[in-house]
Amino acid sequence: MKFNAMTGALLGALLLTLSNAYAETPAAKADKPVHGEYRDWRVLGVSHRTEKNTLRAIVGNDKAIEAARGGKINPWPDGAVIGKIVWKERPHPNWPSAIVPGEFSAAEAMIKDSKKFPETGGWGFGHWEGDKLVMNSKEKSAECFACHTAVKDADYVFTIPALP
């Protein structure tokens, strides 16, 4: 096959395809992850976990927000879902004393259903994989719950609603 205009065009198309394929690799997508429904939820609180070097926004579905604003959170009602959005911390590039979100780390969920999760204080523990909410393994959930027993008196929730 001679290298002519046609093979040149084909080669160009092939290179374009390869280049698009490269752009679609997970690594290239890392700065724009796929998010779940928590992205549209409203703010319950924020936190800076200094021992983990992470910043968090804690958001709630409508049921959780309504409960927080009404002061009806001990216990939180069935149907409330709390989302914890976690980023690695970094200094703001133009204002270094401000610690702001760097790379997105994870989004985790606490789902209140007292009938379904009686053994873990009525809460199910999950996380989002992209836009899909997935329940944690039994082992991982036990780990979550063990830590959250520190705030048993607040129905196992660390977040103190900041916009009541």
Minimum CB–partner distance for residue 82 and a second copy (Å): 14
Binding residue (CB under 8 A) for a second copy from 1, 2, 97, 118: 97
Distance in angstroms (rounded) separating the CA atoms of residues 73 and 68? 6
Count of beta carbons in the 10 Å neighbourhood of residue 60: 26
Does 73 sit near a second copy (CB under 8 A)? no
Minimum CB–partner distance for residue 89 and a second copy (Å): 8
Count of beta carbons in the 10 Å neighbourhood of residue 16: 10
3-state secondary structure of 160: coil
Does 24 sit near a second copy (CB under 8 A)? no
Does 130 sit near a second copy (CB under 8 A)? no
Does 106 sit near a second copy (CB under 8 A)? no
Does 41 sit near a second copy (CB under 8 A)? yes
Count of beta carbons in the 10 Å neighbourhood of residue 157: 24
Phi/psi at 45 (nearest 5 deg)? -175, 180
**Closer residue to a second copy, CB minimum distance, 1 or 24:** 24
**Closer residue to a second copy, CB minimum distance, 14 or 98:** 98
Query: Burial code of 74-86, b = ≥16 C-beta within 10 A, e = fewer?
Result: ebbeeebbbbbbb
Does 59 sit near a second copy (CB under 8 A)? yes
Which residue stretch of 20-28, 124-132, 138-146, 155-163 sits at the interface with a second copy (rule: CB under 8 A)?
155-163
* DSSP calls for 19-41: HHHHHTSHHHHTTS----GGGGS
Binding site for a second copy (CB under 8 A): 32, 35, 39-43, 45-51, 55-57, 59, 85, 87, 89, 92, 94-95, 97-101, 104, 150-151, 154, 158-160, 162-164
